[in-house]
Amino acid sequence: MKYTKYLMTLLVGGLLGASTACTDGFESDNRNNAGFDSNLQEYDFQKYLLKFEIIQSGIYFNYNWGSGKNWPFQIAQNLGQDMFSGYFHDFNQTFNDKNSVYALNDGWTSTHWTYNYSYIMPEVQKCEQINAEQPALLAITEILKVELMHRVADCYGPLVYSKFGQEGDNVDDLKTAYKQFFTDLESGISALGNFIKDNPGVEPYKDADLLTPNKTLAEWIKFANSLRLRLAMRVANVDKAMATEQAKKSFELNKFLETPTEVISTSTKSGYTNPLGEINKSWGEVFMGATMESVLNGYNDPRIGKYYEEASGKDIVWKDDNGVDQHLSQRFDYAGTYKGIPQGTGLTTKDNRYQMCSRSTVSQTTNPILMTAAEVWFLRAEAALRGISSENAKDCYEKGVKTSFEQWGVTGADAYLQSNAVPNDYKDPFDENFDMKALITTTPNWNDASGIEEQFEKIMTQKWLAIYPEGNEAWTEQRRTGYPRLFKVKVNKSGGTINTNIMIRRLPFPADLQKSNPTQYNSLKSALGGADNGGTRLWWDTGKNNL
Amino acid sequence: MMGQFYPKSLLFKQILRTMKLSIFLLLFVTFQAYSHTSYSQSAKVSIPHSMLKVSDILAQIESQTDYLFVYNKNNVDVHRTVNINAKSQAVSDILDEVFDGTNISYVMEGKNIVLTKHNEKAPEQDKNIIVKGTVTDKTGDPIIGANVVEKGTTNGIITNMNGEFSLNVSPNATLIITYIGYEKMSVQVNGQKTIKVQMQEEAQTLETVVVTAMGIKKKAASLTYSTQQVEGDELTRAKDPNMINALAGKAAGVQINKSSAGLGGSVKVSIRGSRSAFEGGNNQPLYVIDGVPMLNSSTESTSTVMGGENDGVNRDAGDGISNLNPDDIESMSILKGASAAALYGSQAANGVVLITTKKGKAGLQKVTFSSNLTVDHAISLPEFQNSYGPSGTDSWGEKKALTDYDNVGKFLGNGATAINSLSLQSGNEKMQTYFSYANTTAKGIIDSNKLQKHNITFRETASFFNDRLKLDGSATLMTQKIKNSTASGGLYLNPLVDLYSFPRGMDMSEYANKFEVADPLRNGMPTQNWFTQVSEWTQNPYWIKNRVVNNNRRYRALVSLSTSLKINDWLSLQARGNVDYASDKFDQDMYASTAPNITGSYKGKSNGRYVWSESEQFQIYADVMAMFNKTWDKWSLNGAIGTSLNKTKVNSLMLDSKIASLYKPNLFTVANIVMNSDASVDQTIDQRRTLQSVFGTAQVGFDEALYLDITARNDWSSTLAHTKSMNTGFFYPSVGLSWIASNSLRLPEWISFSKIRGSWAQVGNDLPIGITNLVDIIRAGGVLQTADSYDKGDLKPEISSSIEFGTEWRFFNNRLGIDFTWYQTDTKNQLLKMPTAAGDKYAYRYINAGKIRNKGIELTVDGTPLMNESFRWKTAANFSTNSNKVISLYPDYTSFVYGDPGISMAYLMRIKEGGSLGDIYGNAFVRENGKIKCNEDGSPFVKTGNNDYLGNANPDFLLGWSNTFTYKGFSLYFLIDLRAGGDVMSLTQAILDQAGVTTETAQARDRKYVEFGGTRFDDVASFYKSVGDRNGISEYYMYNATNVRLREVSLGYSFPQSILEKTKVFKGIDISLIARNLFFLYKDAPFDPDATLSVGNALQGVDVFGMPSTRNVGFNIKFTF
């Protein structure tokens, strides 16, 4: 068998030859050819600015991490904070048995936390690393980080902030987090100041800036300094020393958002769209809250038409089993008026009777507002009232109202500030059981004679009207101060964890943490110092205004 | 060792080189072989001079040739010793010598040599007649080599290639016809000149040869592991458009879950339980056709409880296996354990289904036409009340006698499935041809859902150079068109949601005829008309049916070529290659005024949504193997070494306007998509996966009783790029031992066969493509999406180590058989996509961790309790259990959510140390001191968050019991299938209860209370409004998944030859009445718990408006020419 040798040689050679599996090609095989890789990100210095797109889209959350847009905002803010603030309510009655009646839906209340920690904070950290040598960009990252995370902190309480990216116990209690917010703002503000001084006229952030009107670093200083005042007032009831120290820094710098056009809002000129606008204009689910109706109508506030559309109200009609039209008759004709939806009716049928109430005017291209000059005037009014600043509370209050009127393009502020009008009682268009007496009795006009508490109520009520439609901040300030006095829920399905009169105080931590990371959960809970439910007050929420 | 031979070469070049080299090798050795003149027409064998047992001689012949002996041990005395000395002698000469002077005769049929017993006396010849006849099997195929003997004489003959014989007998003679594996027949001649004989199979054929991994054929008796053979007719008895559904209940340890997606949907085939804790991981077996792996990716289906990806595209247009024509299948071999499948290495973790297709047969010409028609009717629908009328849009109104408008019945009609197929087989000894065409036309229970499929297969086998070189080529083409594939579940764009929850006592027909009305504000544009405000949760079912339409098209081509070359007595070479190409097109049109959350708006106007997608998958596979087979004395050795290359490439593009909407209403073109950041573009460019392998296998046998099996494979996979393991690849070994006790011990007569086996193996599960190299992407509208997960460069494939023991026994001349297997599989290095906790640098991290254990038993019993000349009862039962346990996960990470939890749904799957895959979590009642906590109004307090364990979706055990009764031409088959244990959740029931449309809520209202867990709730409506809906208290909606059903029934009749002969056309006519899923003998859940929302790993054990299962009743008719 002389062939055998040949054969074996060939065979072995052949098999080896065929199997000389070059793994050289593997790396190119295993790459995503549709990817935007780091080499391409070098061009035009893109890498320094890229992360800002995501961070800025993640504040008023509308970042698409691969699961679509808008709905994350709906569950993370619109069906929670926006409703609790009294600004909005969904018409959709299939949602009414959840947050609206304090049966907090973990699938919604957990998401403001989860989305920020999964998709935005990691980008902040990457951005800090990429821009470690870029002082201006690093400063802006710090400011954005505070703006992003105080909105989370104010919903849940303790959180992961100062020790983000560290292993082990990385939880901050709320006080620690606030201290760090102030530190980060200070470093951002001073770095920007130095940068402007050293590089006059250089605007390295211009191309990525989605928040300031003129895209200048100077505006970022104003924003950051105003933000410092916001956070200082936030802690005023619980830690007057901290509030005073930080507010004083703000006043020393004396750079604030002051004029009506100085509005910090996310630009919809590039890929970012306003999620509230989509939910409102396309899905038709953003309606006026009952308290808003009561106050704006009662005060005869000209901003009402800028905020909401008139109701198209009429009877709700459906066919019964005999094919006859059945009416859910309106108690009064509310078409053409402004009509809000009360929170906490617990109605769950699909008749969706509130579908013809007043809708929001916000559209997909409206820039969502994060901070206005008017808000800053009201913060200054509060600081004055608290004796932290030397300004006059009344002046600041009236500047706040006027700035807001001007910002919204309405006139009549002077008359409004003289008005003795009070909010209206709420009348439900279909069911008298949902009628409610107005709880607010204060008026727009400033009265030096009225007590400091009532003056504070005026400031807070007007601030609430002025910072529309940012429900996250409005709800936070309402919890801190108790103003405005919102309508209470009719139906409470919190199982006793939330008192109807004290109202909801916070959002619970994501329930999944209890199972998936009990260590972190327990750490958060102990930092909270109370039950992890909607009834526990946060650190700055003292239940009284220590004016 | 890599890289030196072909530095930096492209893979394609490698393939070419591999092919060139193989061809060269083949040609070279062919030439060598051909030029070697000493070979004669028939195979020659050399046996040194010795005294050998007959069995040893047969073994020698088997090892030196391709022949396999087939004989009945009771007839052939293989222990007799013979003095033999053969030097390159023809097999026939040796056999003549061995059986000289015995009553054994032999016939060579193909590769088989059949030994039969006959009487020695010489035939007598007086006043005889010549009888001509044909012997066929029950399917009408001729039986070649059957023994036809005149009773009481030695006068006999063997049938020829066409099964024909001609014999000179006395007019009153009785003919005895015998053939191995078939019942003995006796036929009275009674002066007839022509006789047709149809033989029935014996209870069990002996010495069967089975196809094992890589297409290597082995004697079933020698295997060291459990496999299950399924004959082609199991798949065609009562056909299903996805043939794999027909396996349900027929194989121990194999669980079949049909997707609840209507026509043409995918099937989840789970062999010995789920092993992979990776949500996106692969839990489906590898399908191998004639030795070559095939593509089996399924299309996107329901991904959350809400619906499909992108909140819209929720379809299931089938998987790869559903593309095949069941009539083309000769048999299937299910390699269940790691040992059986180890030769497939990193593709084998979930078992392998080997499919052998039909080919032409030498000396046979047959044309078969079969037609199968079934009518499909929805079963397991929710139960509706008719005593409480509407209140608003719910049915919580006044009590009164309502008209039952049967809105559901009017919407869900009868579906129909017609499968017609034609096949031709023809051939001579050198060339054989097989051709088939099949056409499937089906209409779903929602009449807009249609399926049309054409399959064409052509296969040619040929042998050259005295059978030394064999070529086997085949081409299969398939086109499939599915119109309006229905949502396989979920709440979005699913017509069943509103169909079921529509207020009772109201007539939907008004909205059926007028599902759209002209909108004067839009100048008459038809817009959706519904009894209440349209939203993503509530839409007119008739609108969804008619105005949310889609088209799925698939074109598939499978071309393969296999060559084998016999080099010498003990060595042969084989090279195989195939190309598998699948092209899918999909588009979906959602008309303007479809729910705004799903379709968005442009400039304030709802203009509709358009989804367009095209994808191409291409797989090329090649392998080369050297196979050897040698026997020395009592020892035998056979095995193979080889190498293979498997490369897939995917290109796809999906454009979806999503909520960015369209510029102009109802114009469904890509250009009309508002392609801003609200739209979606999903593109895959040349996504490649390469798997290179070398492998070897050897089986050592001793004395036909003891077998040792060893396999080894090393895989290099491109998905391991950027990991430490890229260059070393992964090694997958297996070892097994079997002992055929009945061949080495003298056992009592009534034990026909006994065997004990054991094996150990490791197989793997490759990484998904690209996860070791994640990059940012740019989405529609130019927005950035960053990579949200990371790993530390140490990812490895999952490794499943499996150990199994089994034993097989056959008794009473094979009338009773038992096959028992115990196995345990530990899967380590689980690939986990861990959602990180707050504070981590990425949203997810990929790690290898954990250990998941599956263990279970499989028991198969088959028997023939009754058998006589005209009646026979065959029965078979299979029983299997599998228990799954998560032994460990990761030090700091002992629990995580599995799959997309969806939003605000009272259902999720969670994996937890100590738990098991398939654990269902949801919202339980909150109990304080054993009492259910309530709100002030007395309704139960709802605590969301899905933190409560509610059950596990996996069954405790599965049992399938089939019976076949044959009486003359009639045969009755039925299969009863039991799934015991396991839990399922019905969010359908929860949502319908909340709407007040169910019988349950009416009964509670009549009763005026609901009682649960010892607490009585007097406000029925508020109770159901709390527990019901999609995020209520899902504990209340857990059901036992146990069900027993009559899975398959067929009553058939084969026309006798006496009638067929008169037609002069037909060789066989078989008709049968068939039914699948006829009814449940027991069921607790309000839906079919075996239907699954998703064939992936997540979404198990939950129903959210899945398409109801169907009962299929019809007939099957088959003509053979």
Q: What is the pLDDT of residues B452-499, one digit of tens each?
A: 999 999 999 999 988 899 999 999 999 999 999 888 788 888 999 999
**Rounded percentage of chain B residues whose pLDDT exceeds 90:** 45
What per-residue confidence (pLDDT) applies to A5? Answer: 55
Q: How many CA atoms lie within 13 A of A115 on its CB side?
A: 33
d(CA A290, CA A343): 7
pLDDT > 70? residue A258: yes
What per-residue confidence (pLDDT) applies to B125? Answer: 44
With bands split at pLDDT 50, 70 and 90, how would you rate the model's confidence at B845?
confident
What per-residue confidence (pLDDT) applies to B280? Answer: 64
d(CA B730, CA B718): 12
Average pLDDT value for residue range B621-632: 92
| Cis amide prior to A213 (ω within 30 degrees) | no
Query: How close, in Å, is residue A52 to chain B by CA atoms?
Result: 10
Q: Which residues in chain B are contacts of A513 at CB distance < 8 A?
A: 837
d(CA B863, CA B961): 12
pLDDT > 60? residue A388: yes
Q: Is A499 on the interface with B (CB under 8 A)?
A: no
Q: Would you call A321 and B402 a contact, using CB atoms and an 8 Å cutoff?
A: yes
Of A105, A163, A319, the CB nearest to B531: A319
User: What tens digit of pLDDT does each residue of B579-603 get?
Assistant: 999 999 999 999 999 998 889 899 8
Most A CBs within 10 A among B504, B511, B677, B790, hence the mutation to make, goes to: B677
Q: Which residues in chain A are contacts of B9 at CB distance < 8 A?
A: 22, 24-25
User: What tens digit of pLDDT does each residue of B349-360 get?
Assistant: 888 899 999 988
What is the pairing mode between strands B286-289 and B352-357? parallel
Average pLDDT value for residue range B879-904: 82
Q: Would you call B604 and A281 a contact, using CB atoms and an 8 Å cutoff?
A: yes
What per-residue confidence (pLDDT) applies to B33? Answer: 39
Of B10, B506, B643, the CB nearest to A18: B643
For the ranges B73-77, B661-665, B708-712, B814-818, which has the lowest average pLDDT? B73-77
Q: Which residues in chain A are contacts of B840 at CB distance < 8 A?
A: 117, 122, 165
With bands split at pLDDT 50, 70 and 90, how would you rate the model's confidence at A294?
very high
Q: Is B521 on the interface with A (CB under 8 A)?
A: no
Q: Which residues in chain B are contacts of A36 at CB distance < 8 A?
A: 775-778, 784
Q: Which of A47-56, B264-273, B1066-1075 is the most confident on average? A: A47-56
Q: Which residues in chain A are contacts of B643 at CB distance < 8 A?
A: 15, 18-19
pLDDT > 80? residue B75: no
| Cis amide prior to B171 (ω within 30 degrees) | no
With bands split at pLDDT 50, 70 and 90, how would you rate the model's confidence at B901?
low
Of B2, B658, B904, the CB nearest to A22: B2
Average pLDDT value for residue range B856-867: 92
Q: Would you call B694 and A19 a contact, using CB atoms and an 8 Å cutoff?
A: yes
Q: Which residues in chain A are contacts of B25 at CB distance < 8 A?
A: 10-11, 14
Nearest to B210 by CA among B95, B122, B331, B107: B331
Q: Would you call A37 and B776 a contact, using CB atoms and an 8 Å cutoff?
A: yes
Average pLDDT value for residue range B833-839: 83
What per-residue confidence (pLDDT) applies to B268? Answer: 84
What per-residue confidence (pLDDT) applies to B1027? Answer: 94
Q: Are A247 and A240 spatial neighbours (Cβ–Cβ below 8 Å)?
A: no
User: What tens digit of pLDDT does each residue of B560-573 get?
Assistant: 999 999 999 899 99
Q: Would you call B905 and A25 a contact, using CB atoms and an 8 Å cutoff?
A: no
Tokens of A511: 């329930």
Q: Would you call A165 and B720 a contact, using CB atoms and an 8 Å cutoff?
A: no
pLDDT > 50? residue B527: yes
Q: Which residues in chain A are contacts of B786 at CB distance < 8 A?
A: 51, 54, 123, 126
Query: How close, in Å, is residue A460 to chain B by CA atoms?
Result: 33
Write out residues 526-555 of B within 8 Å (CB-CB) of A: 531-533, 535-538
What per-residue confidence (pLDDT) applies to B704? Answer: 86
Q: Would you call B718 and A351 a contact, using CB atoms and an 8 Å cutoff?
A: no
What per-residue confidence (pLDDT) applies to B281? Answer: 66
Nearest to B600 by CA among A182, A394, A364, A114: A364
Average pLDDT value for residue range B606-632: 93
What per-residue confidence (pLDDT) applies to B109? Answer: 61
Residue B790: strand pairing partners:
B845
What per-residue confidence (pLDDT) applies to B27? Answer: 42
Average pLDDT value for residue range B374-399: 90
pLDDT > 90? residue A425: yes
Q: Which residues in chain B are contacts of A110 at CB distance < 8 A?
A: 945
pLDDT > 70? residue B336: yes
Q: Would you call B897 and A516 a contact, using CB atoms and an 8 Å cutoff?
A: yes
Of B29, B659, B895, the CB nearest to A515: B895
d(CA A154, CA B582): 53
What per-residue confidence (pLDDT) applies to B935? Answer: 87
Q: Is B686 on the interface with A (CB under 8 A)?
A: yes
Q: Mapping DSSP to helix (H, G, I), strand (E, B) and coil, where does residue B744 land?
A: helix
pLDDT > 70? residue A303: yes
What per-residue confidence (pLDDT) applies to B607? Answer: 96
Nearest to B58 by CA among B19, B109, B114, B15: B114
For the ranges A9-13, B100-104, B228-232, which has the lowest average pLDDT? A9-13
Q: Which residue has the higher pLDDT, A329 or A502?
A: A502
What are the φ and ψ backbone dihedral angles of A87, each rounded to 5 degrees?
-75, -45
Average pLDDT value for residue range B364-388: 92
What per-residue confidence (pLDDT) applies to B25? Answer: 43
With bands split at pLDDT 50, 70 and 90, how would you rate the model's confidence at A51?
very high
Q: What is the mean pLDDT of chain B?
A: 85
Write out residues 332-351 of A within 8 Å (CB-CB) of B: 348-351
Q: Which residues in chain A are contacts of B11 at CB distance < 8 A?
A: 22, 25, 29
Q: Would you call B779 and A64 a contact, using CB atoms and an 8 Å cutoff?
A: yes
Q: Which residues in chain B are contacts of A523 at CB distance < 8 A?
A: none
Of B21, B776, B904, the CB nearest to A107: B904
pLDDT > 90? residue B1087: yes
Q: Would you call A18 and B18 a contact, using CB atoms and an 8 Å cutoff?
A: yes
Q: Which residues contact B881 (CB under 8 A, 6 or more apart)?
A: B856, B857, B956, B957, B958
Q: Is A409 on the interface with B (CB under 8 A)?
A: no
Q: Which residue has the higher pLDDT, B365 or A426?
A: A426
Average pLDDT value for residue range B759-780: 88
Of A91, A282, A349, the CB nearest to B600: A282
In sequence order, what DSSP letters do the residues of B137-166 get, joined into one string? -TTSPBPTT-EEEETTSS-EEE--TTSEEE
Residue environment code for A520-535, b if the CB has 16+ CB neighbours within 10 A, otherwise e = bbebbbebbeeebbbb
Average pLDDT value for residue range B143-150: 79
Average pLDDT value for residue range A57-85: 94
Q: Which residues in chain A are contacts of B390 at CB distance < 8 A?
A: 318, 320-321
Of A18, A104, A349, the CB nearest to B21: A18
pLDDT > 90? residue B713: yes
d(CA B791, CA B842): 10
Nearest to B1002 by CA among B233, B206, B385, B258: B385
Average pLDDT value for residue range B541-569: 93
Nearest to B499 by CA among B410, B413, B593: B410
Q: Mapping DSSP to helix (H, G, I), strand (E, B) and coil, where does residue B893 land?
A: strand
Q: Which residue has the higher pLDDT, A221 or A10?
A: A221
Q: Which residues in chain A are contacts of B642 at CB distance < 8 A?
A: 15
pLDDT > 60? residue B436: yes
Q: How far apart are the first and last CA of chain A?
A: 108
Number of Cβ atoms within 10 Å of the Cβ of B518: 11
Q: Would you call B904 and A108 a contact, using CB atoms and an 8 Å cutoff?
A: yes
What per-residue confidence (pLDDT) applies to B9? Answer: 42
Write out residues 354-393 of A within 8 Å (CB-CB) of B: 355, 363
Q: Is B8 on the interface with A (CB under 8 A)?
A: yes
Query: How close, in Å, is residue B853 to chain A by CA atoms?
Result: 21
User: What tens digit of pLDDT does each residue of B28-56 get?
Assistant: 444 443 433 333 335 677 777 777 778 78
Average pLDDT value for residue range B938-950: 90
Q: Is A172 on the interface with B (CB under 8 A)?
A: no
pLDDT > 70? residue B19: no
Q: Which residues in chain A are contacts of B29 at CB distance < 8 A?
A: 7, 10
Chain A to chain B, count of Cβ pairs less than 8 Å apart? Answer: 362
What per-residue confidence (pLDDT) applies to B488? Answer: 78
d(CA B1018, CA B1010): 7
With bands split at pLDDT 50, 70 and 90, how would you rate the model's confidence at B266?
confident
What are the φ and ψ backbone dihedral angles of B417, each rounded to 5 degrees?
-130, 125
Q: Which residues in chain B are contacts of A123 at CB distance < 8 A?
A: 786
Q: Is B111 on the interface with A (CB under 8 A)?
A: no
Q: Which residue has the higher pLDDT, A330 or B127?
A: A330
Q: Are B691 and B718 spatial neighbours (Cβ–Cβ below 8 Å)?
A: yes
Nearest to B634 by CA among B536, B705, B575, B579: B705
What are the φ and ψ backbone dihedral angles of B357, each rounded to 5 degrees?
-95, 165
Nearest-Cα residue of chain B relative to residue A25? B10
Q: Is A117 on the interface with B (CB under 8 A)?
A: yes
What per-residue confidence (pLDDT) applies to B123? Answer: 43
With bands split at pLDDT 50, 70 and 90, how would you rate the model's confidence at B305?
low
